[in-house]
Structure 1
Amino acid sequence: MKFVAVLYPGPAEQHVDHSGLELLGSTEGALGLAKLLESEGHELVVLSDRDRALRDHLADAHVFITTPFWPTYLTADDLRRAERLELVLTAGVGSDHVDAEAAAELGITVAEVTGSNVVSVAEHAVMQLLALVRNYLPAYQQVVDGRWDIADIAARSHDIEDKTIGIVGMGQIGQRIALRLRGFDVKVLYNTRHRRGSTDEAVFGARFKHLDDLVAQSDAIVLSCPLTAETKGLFDERRLRAMRPGSWLVNIARGQIVDTDALVEVLESGHLGGYAGDVWYPQPAPPDHPWRTMPGHALTPHVSGTTLEAQQRYAAGIQDSVRRYLDGDPLQEDYVVARPT
């Protein structure tokens, strides 16, 4: 059988890390699949060139593996050309780069490693929220530039204590964000499709609000909802303008939830205090993506869910799914995004 894995390239330079954890998410680590597959006579193709993967390897692949950080966008047309394809795996969480409905119609299972990134992404969200509120990146840049202009930084630096933080999406990541914010003595509001019970709300220290009310009342908003037809463009110009003047927005969900050009406009006008997150559209973001140069941002490439610890979790999940596939066993139920209809 032929397995194709499209992963992000390995580092240009050697890095020293004393944890002993391997870089499994890159092409050089190959998710730890090489020994598993090659010892049993299967073919494993690992590459970072997504166009080449679609052009040269998709047609005869039985299993196609991609990631949210370096996604291969698989359209219905792509999937129709893959006559042998039976399984698409996402090494991580979030398979919106795959046309899951078309896959199911074509008899292809789509799965991901549910829960593998929740700790890592929640920590990243809180880090970026604090970076915005405390005006951290401009302060750091002063050090790099050899400056010492305290007033320039202090004029837009705040305590997070007593602020109201809105969380849009209260799944596993949203819940962990709320729990991590409890120690900062903030007021947490949340919105999600299915309201949590009173016991859960007490544990998370969060109160449910309808989305428009949450937007109007929050000093900062964190987006942690999945990309769906309902959430695509959810934060358009109208909703961004409805946010409190000077408030902050953090997006660790998906880039398309926020209108690209409208975000640039509200930051350039000074309506928002800043924007952070690590999700873009498309990914990787092109060099001329307008978010790269807009004012007041603290963006990172899509790295939140691929810490060394997260890589061990999603690599183990991929290995488990591959083993089950080879043995003819069903995948873990909570991993399955779409199954053949």
Structure 2
Amino acid sequence: MAKVLCVLYDDPTGGFPTTYARDDVPHIDRYPDGQSAPTPLGADFTPGHLLGSVSGELGLRAFLESRGHTLVVTSDKEGDGSVFDRELPDSDVVISQPFWPAYLTAERIAAARNLKLAITAGIGSDHVDLDAAIAHDVAVAEVTFSNSISVAEHVVMSILALVRNYLPSHRIAREGGWNIADCVERSYDLEGMHVGTVGAGRIGQAVLRRLAPFDVKLHYTDRHRLPADIETQLGLVFHESAADMVPHCDVVTVNAPLHPETEGLFDADLLSTMKRGAYLINTARARIVDRDAVRQALESGRLAGYAGDVWYPQPAPADHPWRTMPHHGMTPHISGSTLSAQARYAAGTREILEAWLDGKPIRDEYLIVSGGALAGAGAHSYAVNEKTD
């Protein structure tokens, strides 16, 4: 029998919900590229309910315990004597989310003598040391595309919030004010601006498609150039590198995985080449940008705004400088954890577990590492011996 260790974020401060704002969420059968949404053999949860917190348990307890397996769920993942570290050595499977990552370092993987599978309930497995997973023959899988559109929507929302100066204007309304000049002194139209994405995979392409109707000029850079028909359809301008692209853009959004090519990419030097008053959106990974360089660029006016939801480490400490820097639109890491997305990534997590427990192949598009090598989506996004965290 298997022991499954699941690391999830805490329940709401007011207690686990008994009612919800909506009665249902739309059912998604297929994603824009034709990939089918998760198809587990069963599901023990209600779509639209909170599944990603400790009491939600990703809807896995009844399924696992009915088969005689053990499920341990905790939010305690860091510090000496954490529940995660105590339970890890004899766990067969570890599940966590990018929003509350259980950092599977090389040291932790070495100590996890029974570990065979690490699942990301969502997308983005940079909290797992992939080199160590390969060396110890630990399979790594994630629920590819389950929350890509959720993140893309958050990107578009963040762009509009910054460009239109929405957050300060909303604060003025809440505080009883009405000074129009205070609201509009930093407010512009997105129309006609040049917008570029670093990374044009599932999320990056979804962002581009959602921005096209705003009559903006679209740019992108990616290690894999898009087909010519997509470039023509969206009117895209391809750039060989971020350094080539960002000087042309009024808005830049980061939608790339964290690996040595992207870690620290947006440092002081690259930020200095951006247009004065440009906006930077990062829902990818915090370590793609230099923390202090971003703060300084906002303070100097090089950047007019910075938004996103990724921090390092996660959760971010209370004194993290991004919490108090000017003209930001940061949120906790929530872009891919809407209640709609949770239904998909919970179903995908169960689908992966069903396959693994029954000795059947895990979907190729879910695989990051398998058989001691990069596989599936991992082979497309990473290279051997690239350290992700």
Is residue 91 of structure 1 aligned with residue 121 of structure 2?
yes
* CA distance in structure 2 between the aligned counterparts of 1:303 and 1:25, rounded to whole angstroms: 11
Residue 291 (structure 1) aligned with residue 291 (structure 2): no
* From 310, 331, 335, the counterpart of 2:362: 331
The DSSP-based 3-state class of the residue aligned with 1:162 is coil
- Please point out which of 265, 271, 274 is paired with 2:296: 265
Shift in Å, 1:309: 1.0
Q: TM-score normalised to the size of structure 2?
A: 0.86
Q: Distance in 2 between matches of 1:69 and 1:53?
A: 18
Deviation at 1:298, TM superposition (A): 0.4
Structure 2 residue matching 1:59: 3-state secondary structure: helix
How far apart, CA to CA, are the structure 2 residues paired with 1:244 and 1:8?
38
Alignment-derived partner of residue 194 in structure 1: 224
Q: Which moved more, 1:191-200 or 1:255-264?
A: 191-200
Structure 1 equivalent of residue 22 of structure 2: 18
Partner of 1:75: 105
Q: Distance in 2 between matches of 1:196 and 1:64?
A: 35
Q: Which runs of 5+ in 1 are unaligned?
A: none
Task: Tell me the equivalent position of 1:4.
Answer: 5
Aligned to 1:156: 186
Q: Which residue of 2 aligns with 1:208?
A: 238
Q: Report how far residue 205 of structure 1 moved.
A: 3.1
1:322 aligns with 2:350: no
- Counting only pairs closer than 5 Å after superposition, residues 218-237 of structure 1 correspond to structure 2 as 218-237=249-268
One-letter amino acid of the counterpart of residue 30, structure 1: E
SS across alignment from 2:90: coil
Write the deviation string for residues 71-101 of structure 1: whole angstroms up to 9, x where unpaired.
0111111011111110000100001011011
The offset of 1:202, in angstroms, is 2.0
Q: Work out whether residues 20 and 49 of structure 2, in 8 Å CA contact, stay in contact via their aligned partners in 1.
A: no
CA contact (8 A) 2:194 2:250 kept: yes
8 A Cα contact 1:161 1:185, kept in partner: yes
RMSD, matched Cα: 1.1
Q: Is the 8 A contact 1:164 1:189 kept in 2?
A: yes
Q: How far off is 1:55 after superposition?
A: 2.3
The answer to whether structure 1 residue 143 and structure 2 residue 173 are counterparts is yes
**Structure 2 CA distance, aligned partners of 1:177 and 1:290?**
28
Q: What is the distance in 2 between the residues matched to 1:92 and 1:314?
A: 5
Matched to 1:256, the amino acid is R
8 A Cα contact 1:126 1:180, kept in partner: yes
Partners of 2:74 and 2:84 within 8 A in 1: no
Q: 3-state SS of the aligned residue for 1:285?
A: coil
Matched-pair contact (CA < 8 Å) for 1:280–1:302? yes
Q: Which moved more, 1:271-280 or 1:51-60?
A: 51-60
What amino acid sits opposite 1:304 in the alignment? S
Deviation at 1:197, TM superposition (A): 1.8
Q: Which residue of the other structure, out of 60, 65, 77, is the alignment partner of 1:33? A: 60
Shift of 1:144: 2.0
The aligned amino acid for 2:199 is G
Is the contact between residue 166 and residue 218 of structure 1 (CA under 8 Å) also seen in structure 2?
A: yes
In 2, Cα distance between equivalents of 1:28 and 1:17: 19
Q: How many residue pairs were aligned?
A: 341
The 8 Å contact of residues 105 and 340 in structure 1, kept in 2 or not, is answered as: no
CA contact (8 A) 1:6 1:53 kept: no
Q: Deviations over 1:294-314 (max 9, x none)?
A: 001001111000111110111
The match for 1:303 among 334, 337, 348 is: 334
Contact 2:7 2:84 in 1 (8 A): no
Which consecutive unaligned segments of at least 5 residues does structure 2 have? 25-47, 373-389
Residue identity opposite 1:270 in structure 2: G
> Which one-letter code corresponds to 1:187 in the other structure?
K
CA separation in 2, counterparts of 1:189 and 1:3?
43
Percent sequence identity over aligned pairs: 50
* Superimposed CA distance per residue, residues 171-206 of structure 1 (whole angstroms, 9 cap, x where no aligned partner): 000101010011100000011111112101123332
Letter aligned with residue 43 of structure 1: T
Q: Secondary structure at the match of 2:9?
A: coil
For residues 127-179 of structure 1, give each alpha carbon's deviation from its aligned partner in whole angstroms, at most 9, with x where no partner exists.
Answer: 00000000011101111222222112211100000010011100000101010
Distance in 1 of aligned mates of 2:181 and 2:244: 34
CA distance in 2 between counterparts of 1:286 and 1:340 reads 37
